[in-house]
Amino acid sequence: MAEEPALVRLEGLTKTYGERVVTPVLRGIDLEIHSMDLCALTGPSGSGKTTLLNLIGLLDRPTTGRVVIEGTDTGALDDEARTALRGRALGFVFQFHHLLPAFSALENVMMPLIARHGRKKAWIREKAEHLLEEVGLAERMTYRATDLSGGQQQRVAIARALVADPALVLADEPTGNLDTQSGEQVLEMVRDFNRRLGTAFLVVTHDDHVASACDRIVHMVDGLVDSDRRSG
């Protein structure tokens, strides 16, 4: 039986900044992420983790190399096509959740689908309500983001990341700004959605506990993949 194609394939990926003084950040990354992966991306500060996440997330373009998502070579896409692919295939969770403070939890979760489809529709609301129930916020749907605790806001961010059924969620230090209990709840939700929905997650973390909860750990040093192993 043929192996399933990679969800994301990185080939010879480099990223440099500056013109007169060139600073290399990524020095040649070859990496594949597959459906159902629950993968931690680790490494010291300055190793290139966030830069790599931004390239996979189509928030930036590589200096050289290819980013292939669901079989599409993203280097050949214009900005509009990249935005469409990002909205269809990828979800994002950040350390600072970036919720819209004037809007309710429900409205924040609905926002990606409203942006894509142009207006509110009944099925969008129903889907957002279901996801908020899934993350334990059924009683907090109408609360504004600023009236929720940090852990609750991060759960809203997870629901928002999943509302468009992405194949891959990119999470940058998703527990880094939370207390231990809230962080554990967020981590458990990530594991649950990975297993139950089949959504792949790539989680940037400095936390060994978070990394060990993932099935795979990719460790970066000085802009290169130093190791790629299964945990446990």
What pLDDT is stored for residue 3 in this prediction?
A: 61
The 8-class DSSP code of residue 21 comes to S
pLDDT average, residue stretch 161-178: 89
Residue 56 clears pLDDT 60, i.e. is over it: yes
The 8-class DSSP code of residue 60 comes to S
Q: Average pLDDT of the chain?
A: 90
Q: Is the dihedral of CA 195, 197, 198, 201 positive or negative?
A: negative
Q: pTM score > 0.85 for this model?
A: yes
pLDDT average, residue stretch 69-93: 92
Give the separation between CA 119 and CA 103, rounded to whole angstroms: 16
Residue 159 clears pLDDT 80, i.e. is over it: yes
Give the type of residue at 18. Answer: G
99-129 confidence digits (pLDDT tens): 888 899 999 999 989 888 877 788 999 999 9
Residue 183 clears pLDDT 50, i.e. is over it: yes
Instruction: Spell out where the chain has E strands.
Output: 8-17, 23-33, 38-42, 64-69, 72-73, 90-94, 168-172, 200-204, 216-221, 224-230
Domains (range + CATH), the chain: 8-230 (3.40.50.300)
Poorest-pLDDT segment among 21-35, 106-120, 205-219: 106-120
Residue 96 clears pLDDT 80, i.e. is over it: no
2-21 confidence digits (pLDDT tens): 467 899 999 999 999 888 88
Residue 177 clears pLDDT 80, i.e. is over it: no
pLDDT average, residue stretch 168-192: 86
Give the separation between CA 203 and CA 217, rounded to whole angstroms: 9
